[in-house]
Amino acid sequence: MKVTSEIAAIRQQVREWRAAGKTVAFVPTMGNLHKGHISLVTESLKHADHVVASIFVNPMQFAAHEDLDTYPKTLSADLEQLSAAGTELVFTPTSEQMYPNGAENHTKVTVPEDAIGLCGESSSRPGFFTGVATIVLKLFNIVQPDIACFGRKDYQQLIIIKTMVDELALPIRIIGVDTYREQSGLAMSSRNNYLSKDEREQAAEIKQILDASIARVQAGEAHKAVLDDAIKSMAKAGFNTDYIIIRNANTMQPVTPSDDELVILVAAFLGTTRLIDNQYFTV
């Protein structure tokens, strides 16, 4: 596996693969990898001949109250996992390379959130999705993959990226990969490392609350009543809920009577750790 921080080296290797008639998949990450990230590499290998990954902690998607400096960095362990999974090329740029004039002065890519029905997370983390869209587009321009895999755990992020790719006519197929869960049902996340053992057990209740809510919606109960009860259940379990919503799974717009593919999304604090999860379902 080759590891480089040089944009020119990434482009040269991809050119060589393309000249040989091979296809390229891309998995962008912020490092501190877990099995969920590795599942993206595994899925990528089903669709392309070669896999490129990136490790870059993107300062543009951190809010003022979030400490970029404390984000866990585990590069050696990350590279071992990526290599074992079959990744052939890893891009590890610096902030100076990606934002030579500083993130605050960099050209930004904004996907209009209102147009795709985003709420909750976007209001509590202003600028987050602009930071995501900007860095993903820049990485796409550097790597120029045929496909890119993203986890469905960050569902709103997935919709943002799909929308950007569609509206900017990028020749990249975006593949959403199912959320990888711990045995307890807790969605795997780098943020889980901030949880104590007891909190990790508590956090597993999110999945149970989502499943119970889905069952009630599928049984015909009104969404508002279901969501009101879900918020109460979250509070009883020790969470401070940021939002819990049900949306059209494809557009993220509010649900209409004709919609049959839905997603329930939640963001909540357990102590100081903000956790997100979601479940796709049909009615």
Catalytic site includes residue 50: no
CATH number for the domain spanning 203: value is 3.30.1300.10
Is 249:262 a contact under the CB 8 Å cutoff?
Answer: yes
Are residues 10 and 139 part of one domain? yes
Are residues 147 and 20 part of one domain? yes
Residue type, 2: K
Mean pLDDT of all residues in 238-252 = 95
Among 177, 203, 226, give the residue marking a domain's end. Answer: 177
Mean pLDDT of all residues in 3-30 = 98
66: pLDDT strictly greater than 70? no
* Rg (the chain; Cα; Å): 19
Tokens, residue 242: 């940021």
Tokens, residue 211: 């499943």
Are residues 208 and 171 part of one domain? no
Chain-centroid distance of CA 107 in Å reads 22
Are residues 139 and 35 part of one domain? yes
Mean pLDDT of all residues in 116-124 = 58
pLDDT level of residue 121 (50, 70, 90 thresholds): very low
Question: What is d(CA 196, CA 207) in angstroms, rounded to the nearest whole number?
Answer: 18
Are residues 145 and 56 part of one domain? yes
Are residues 170 and 135 part of one domain? yes
pLDDT tens per residue across span 127-148: 788 999 999 999 999 999 999 9
Compute the mean pLDDT over every residue in the chain, rounded to the nearest whole number.
94
pLDDT level of residue 125 (50, 70, 90 thresholds): low
Residues near 20 by beta carbon (within 8 Å), at least 6 away in sequence: none
Are residues 114 and 251 part of one domain? no
Mean pLDDT of all residues in 97-111 = 94
Domain-embedded: residue 183: no
Its pTM stands at 0.93
CATH number for the domain spanning 40: value is 3.40.50.620
Q: DSSP string of 180-202?
A: PB-TTSPBP-GGGGGS-HHHHHH
Are residues 164 and 267 part of one domain? no
Mean pLDDT of all residues in 167-174 = 98
Question: What is d(CA 245, CA 266) in angstroms, rounded to the nearest whole number?
Answer: 7
Are residues 126 and 39 part of one domain? yes
Q: Which domain does 103 fall in, by range?
A: 2-177
Are residues 159 and 126 part of one domain? yes
Q: How many domains does the chain have?
A: 2
Strand order in the sheet with 89-91: 2-4, 89-91, 50-55, 24-29, 147-151, 173-177
CB neighbours of residue 94 within 10 Å: 9
215: pLDDT strictly greater than 60? yes
Are residues 251 and 137 part of one domain? no
Task: Considering the candidates 37, 50, 65, 106, report the single residue annotated as catalytic.
Answer: 37
Are residues 124 and 250 part of one domain? no
